[in-house]
Amino acid sequence: MEPLISELEQKLGIKFKNPDLLKEALTHRSFLNEHKDWLTPHNERLELLGDSVLSLVVTVFLLQKFPDYEEGKLTAMRASLINSNALLEVAQELDLKKYLYVSKGESKGLNLHSRSYALSDAVEALIGAIYLDQGFEGAQKFIEQYILTKLESNTPSATYKDAKSLFQEKSQEIYGITPVYRLLESWGPDHAKQFRCGVYLADELVASGEGPSKQLAEVAAASNALIAKGWQEESSLN
């Protein structure tokens, strides 16, 4: 086994039954572009799984800890714990940059923005790998140790609402319409792809936004829509 993989296992306190899962979680798509003979897949499938496991564990925890909180506040609290910035904190705590397999261009910081998202995505992939290798309890233990412990510092104020939540709330209140997000275009190489999404009220395109993932492009679109409608002062637009 590679020394760095063993080192990360020791740091995590986890001995993987299948070390290839950990290696996959650390393999960025860009790395495969420079290493055609690399046998490990990139980490995007594990990222998808980890995102779902993370959301489930955090949601159940919040429901149990705050039985009197309404859905809107719980959603905002969950968002504060699982957004890209929060996951980047975990990546920095684990020094994941040291273990990530990325292309030379990516590692040199093609752009700091995309490199940050590569690290936060790797945290989700790591959760997915732990879930497959150690089961739900193993993933839950990791999330409790590295994410739920940050609840107090990341808890939003009572008036906090993320951009998408606020735009949906105001749209339903004022127009009786639920916003719909649509992908308008995407461009760039696979390892540095960009997306533009639009947010619609019925057939009206209210605003669009760009980002390195569809999710972040939707958040940007919601933020721009809040500005377009004059509702921005009620949101942190995060």
Is 51 noted as a catalytic residue in this protein? yes
The catalytic residue among 89, 124, 133, 162 is: 124
Q: At what angle do helices 84-94 and 3-12 cross, to 10 degrees?
A: 110
- 95 is known as an active-site residue: no
8 A C-beta contact, residue 63 and residue 137: no
Six token digits for residue 199: 């947010």
Which position among 24, 51, 89, 121 bears the catalytic label?
A: 51
Q: How far is CA 139 from CA 126, 130, 142, 195, in A?
A: 9, 5, 5, 30
Which three-class secondary structure state does DSSP give residue 63? helix
Question: Would you say how long the chain is, in residues?
Answer: 238
Active site residues: 51, 124
